[in-house]
Structure 1
């Protein structure tokens, strides 16, 4: 019996060990409240409604891990550089900075390609627009897509951030500073409409209606992961496109805002932010000529402003193959409008 037991143990030890599940690591350039997955934008839909998890459900060899970074884009870049992430939902400037530094990534779909930028001031401020900001105390979240968009907006108004008294603050700190009157204005995203809703601030300018003026956001994949697992890249993109289709349907408008409200920002803020715009315009996942040309323009601006150390070539950075396949397989052709580099709908 002992001999048989030993032989059995030898046979078992000779069998290959079961492979550990492959964890798909997804990062988001921003914090989520209280350890939740609730953040604004398309990434918030994908995360909170577990679209990626549902895509791989039933496959015991796969798992998904989400990481939300308080340090925003720069922290995501550090994680990508350290091989700690496979995918990231993030904005244009940190991704451009990463590419300038040699990070091996591919942009596989847009998320909030035409986000809005706002100039929000204290109620008593005499600021009427961007041209009035010279010498004023203005908060700016540096190192983020908001930073790059605000620099572009200032340039079009004949200014640069050097003409302002800039306070480098993250969004939470800037909200507090504006509410307390420690700064007179903030260049930021819809989050600052929270103060407008409370009567503690007003909007002096916004980029709404100009597809090139606001921040742009996207989903990118680490090059090593794409080369090793193109099938999984296709599944993650497909899941994210499903989310984009649901979130782009104006019949779901209030449901989308209700989900985003769980991030801590009132639904009324999102209603104001998206007022007069179709969800599909803001949440389009398409990699079209307008998106690529906008990133090319922002890459040049970032270099001119010294926000990146070297010129950034966006050629070959965008990989629409997975996106286009998902749109075809899900029967979503025509859901979103494709634009040319001139900002006009193709075919019009």
Structure 2
């Protein structure tokens, strides 16, 4: 027997022996899943709050769901630059999933990002218009010519533009100043701006008697609501459907806990790990059911909202091209999680017209 044949025979015999003895194959390649939040806590705390996804992070739902896959690790990131910063991270292949708002998602899709929207995580959120205490600005129409803070490129941005339009103003009718949350709060405190569109952190200024909220989208046109979702890279989802399913299932479990009114105060307390006080979240959810705000369900109303948002973003000059919505949403992972957890029909779904849909329809 030649030397080459002898080596082959020895190797084949060894392989057969290992197979007979049942020796385990080589360990799976380690995988780090990178999940980002288009938000950050006060003073750059690596936490978010006010959503089921934030609870999933704080209470380690995702890590628990992945406990049978020890080679899979989760890396969380929080972006002070909000949605635009998340889009940049996606473009540079630095994220696999993100919790992000509707407008930046639409902008990312317009710019060619290959993503899928998997579930809702912070849907039906309101915005607020705050002014310094004792300001002469008393209503939206009074903003004409005023200095107004709007965090450009975020889902607050499009909501604010829609509110302005609803009250007879265009973005060019006010002096828009691009500011993040911390800068906005500081500018309202120093009265360097006349007003600010924002979300729940504005409540802290109200508590301190520094500012007052003169308008909210709560109780107004539902089309002014903001939506956030779990969005993922198409390539990652295709390569790792099992891991994707576990992440979705974990957030659905967190959504079920976060939708239980018995957990309302605990939900606010955990959210306060972000550094924003529980009172701010309590203010933000006042008058609304947890089930409404924390539903993970992508229903016809949300899909239609994105379709309208994409068109309006183009009309308002926030986009330069049309965005195709069809095929972007993938409910398969969500539907499987709902079925496995016995939650089919637990959350109310709404039709494209915004009206409740009867169960089973």
User: TM-score per shorter chain, which class?
Assistant: over 0.9
Equivalent position of 2:73 in the other structure = 63
- Asked whether the 8 Å contact 1:37–1:48 carries over to 2, the reply is no
Q: Report the secondary structure of 2:90's partner residue.
A: helix
Q: Structure 1: where are the runs of 5+ without partners?
A: 1-6
Q: Cα distance, 1:334 vs. partner?
A: 2.6
CA distance in 1 between counterparts of 2:43 and 2:282 reads 24
Number of residue equivalences: 338
- Asked whether the 8 Å contact 1:109–1:219 carries over to 2, the reply is yes
Once the two structures are superposed, residues 83-115 of structure 1 have per-residue CA deviations (whole angstroms, 9 ceiling, x without a partner) of 121111000111101000110000000111100
Q: Report the secondary structure of 2:201's partner residue.
A: helix
Once the two structures are superposed, residues 246-287 of structure 1 have per-residue CA deviations (whole angstroms, 9 ceiling, x without a partner) of 111111000000011121111111111111110111111111
- Asked whether the 8 Å contact 2:127–2:225 carries over to 1, the reply is yes
Report whether the alignment pairs 1:293 with 2:304: yes
Structure 2 CA distance for partners of 1:292 and 1:128, relative to 1, 3 Å = same
- Asked whether the 8 Å contact 2:255–2:295 carries over to 1, the reply is yes
> What does 1:86-125 correspond to in 2, within 5 Å?
86-125=96-135
Q: Structure 2: where are the runs of 5+ without partners?
A: 1-6, 19-24
Equivalent position of 1:77 in the other structure = 87
CA distance in 2 between counterparts of 1:308 and 1:200 reads 35
- Asked whether the 8 Å contact 1:37–1:47 carries over to 2, the reply is no
Once the two structures are superposed, residues 233-256 of structure 1 have per-residue CA deviations (whole angstroms, 9 ceiling, x without a partner) of 111100010011111111100000
Query: How well do the aligned residues superpose, as a CA RMSD in angstroms?
Result: 2.0
CA distance in 2 between counterparts of 1:36 and 1:49 reads 16
Normalising by structure 1, report the TM-score.
Answer: 0.93
Who wins on radius of gyration, i.e. which is larger? 2
Equivalent position of 2:343 in the other structure = 332
Q: Report the secondary structure of 1:103's partner residue.
A: coil
1, 8, 24: which is aligned to 2:33?
Answer: 24
Equivalent position of 1:243 in the other structure = 254
Q: Report the secondary structure of 2:116's partner residue.
A: strand
- Asked whether the 8 Å contact 1:41–1:111 carries over to 2, the reply is no
Normalising by structure 2, report the TM-score.
Answer: 0.89
115-124 or 30-39, larger mean C-alpha shift: 30-39
